[in-house]
A and B are shown apart, each in its own frame.
Chain A
């Protein structure tokens, strides 16, 4: 590159001929942006990190899936979805019971982080994504503070652990199989569905495209 052009406009730096640049967050290599066709992907030639991955109708799909996640998590909070029976006695439990099961002393801290990781952070993240994406998808100017909201949603992403919790349910079942008989409430299957939706939703999300459209519409 000859001279990175420092333009007067407060946009990102461009190549000398005005081509937009993209930097790999993992290895710092820079490229001239080439947007792949829908369904394709653009990969860093140096470290193989996927940089751009546009999907057909991604915005609408993410909104639909995110709404579904919001509804399912909220439902799982209140409806009992695991049930056990032993010696004529039974107990059923909802997500809220599980999240607050560490009641004694310092273990309350574990309750707080469990509630956060399986209920609060996932719900906060869906709220942020809807707030950011709905105006963009319906061709409106971005919502106020949309940048901060989307950045926060990216920061908290590793701490939203619904899918890990669902696998935890399966392990718990095996562990007590000789102690008691265990039944799944209908909400348990809702929860399995939730895990699938979380995974599919993340596959549709191309952060570069979201940032780009936030910038273009601002």
Chain B
């Protein structure tokens, strides 16, 4: 196994093709070529800080303002979950807490961990950190669900005096926090995780790509092509 950089080449992260090291743009897809994204960590930390800063007011100010005939209620994210739990829906309350507190906080910690261990090293394997990165990258978008719920409720619950729901300022700061955290994760160049790993020297022959055949399906004869 050998990396494109060790072979004196540069890989395109957008289309996976391989080019001479001094080439600036990919000839197949037109993307900018960079053997390692040198500005990656600065951008990761900048977006990360922006995300954390927005996450604080997102928790301190109300997300939903509910008015009914008799009550007016400002709910923060955690307050809303507690409210749901008091109604007896403990499971739903847990889902809300996981989605709006555990996942964002977990993402902040995970990104910080991945960025810090690049410099300091770690006992955790590169593969373990790659998996962690993929999980963070995948799960980031799902935090937007809270903002969408607020949008749905504010549009739907407009029953004049009987009940109405309005979004609070936390809707904006929470949305920004999610967007900034997504940008932070996207800025991370995962190839940096693998760089310390010991590899074969640059003179080893290149391996063939491993291929796996399709899982056999009983309803289809093997070898059929289209």
Chain B residue nearest to A102 (CB atoms) is B167
- Picked from A100, A114, A207, the residue with its CB within 8 Å of the CB of B15 is A207
Distance in angstroms between the alpha carbons of A158 and B2 in the assembled complex: 30
Complex contact B214–A38 (CB within 8 A): yes
Complex contact A113–B202 (CB within 8 A): no
Binds B, one of A81-89, A123-131, A196-204: A81-89
Jot down 18 A-B pairs with beta carbons below 8 A, ordered by A. A12-B27, A32-B209, A39-B215, A40-B212, A42-B212, A43-B212, A56-B226, A87-B159, A107-B167, A110-B151, A158-B186, A161-B148, A164-B142, A168-B148, A169-B148, A172-B148, A172-B152, A179-B68
Q: Which of A40-81 contact B (CB under 8 A)?
A: 40-43, 45-48, 51-52, 56-57
Chain B residue nearest to A83 (CB atoms) is B156
Q: State how many angstroms separate the Cβ of B148 from the closest Cβ of chain A.
A: 3
B187 within 8 A of A: no
Complex contact A22–B214 (CB within 8 A): no
- Picked from A1, A90, A106, A207, the residue with its CB within 8 Å of the CB of B7 is A1
B106 within 8 A of A: no
Complex contact B209–A211 (CB within 8 A): no
Q: Which of B33-76 contact A (CB under 8 A)?
A: 66, 68
A192 within 8 A of B: no
Interface residue count on the B side (C-beta < 8 Å) = 84
- Picked from B145, B186, B204, B206, the residue with its CB within 8 Å of the CB of A164 is B145
B136 within 8 A of A: no
A37 — which chain B residues lie within 8 A by C-beta? 211, 213-214
Q: Which of A164-218 contact B (CB under 8 A)?
A: 164-165, 167-169, 171-172, 174-176, 178-180, 207-208, 211, 214-215
Q: Which of B1-35 contact A (CB under 8 A)?
A: 1-5, 7-9, 11-20, 27-31
- Picked from A31, A110, A179, the residue with its CB within 8 Å of the CB of B157 is A179
Distance in angstroms between the alpha carbons of A10 and B73 in the assembled complex: 65
B208 within 8 A of A: yes
Distance in angstroms between the alpha carbons of A109 and B68 in the assembled complex: 27
Complex contact A102–B2 (CB within 8 A): no
A151 — which chain B residues lie within 8 A by C-beta? 14, 29-31
B84 — which chain A residues lie within 8 A by C-beta? 175
B105 within 8 A of A: no
A22 — which chain B residues lie within 8 A by C-beta? 16-18, 209
Distance in angstroms between the alpha carbons of A100 and B154 in the assembled complex: 10
B124 within 8 A of A: no
Distance in angstroms between the alpha carbons of A62 and B167 in the assembled complex: 38
Which among A23, A37, A45, A57 has the highest number of chain B CB atoms within 10 Å?
A23
B120 within 8 A of A: no
Distance in angstroms between the alpha carbons of A211 and B149 in the assembled complex: 37
Complex contact A41–B212 (CB within 8 A): yes
Complex contact B15–A180 (CB within 8 A): no
B127 within 8 A of A: yes
B193 within 8 A of A: yes
Q: State how many angstroms separate the Cβ of A186 from the closest Cβ of chain B.
A: 17
Q: State how many angstroms separate the Cβ of A207 from the closest Cβ of chain B.
A: 7
A99 within 8 A of B: yes
Chain A residue nearest to B127 (CB atoms) is A47
Complex contact B141–A34 (CB within 8 A): no
Which among A10, A13, A93, A107 has the highest number of chain B CB atoms within 10 Å?
A13
Complex contact B145–A23 (CB within 8 A): no
- Picked from B9, B16, B213, the residue with its CB within 8 Å of the CB of A24 is B16
- Picked from B5, B172, B215, the residue with its CB within 8 Å of the CB of A110 is B172
Which among A11, A56, A102 has the highest number of chain B CB atoms within 10 Å?
A102
Chain A residue nearest to B3 (CB atoms) is A28
Q: Mark B164-200, 1 if CB is under 8 A from A, else 0.
A: 0111010110010001001000100011011000000
Q: State how many angstroms separate the Cβ of B62 from the closest Cβ of chain A.
A: 12
A136 within 8 A of B: no
Distance in angstroms between the alpha carbons of A3 and B182 in the assembled complex: 40
A118 within 8 A of B: yes
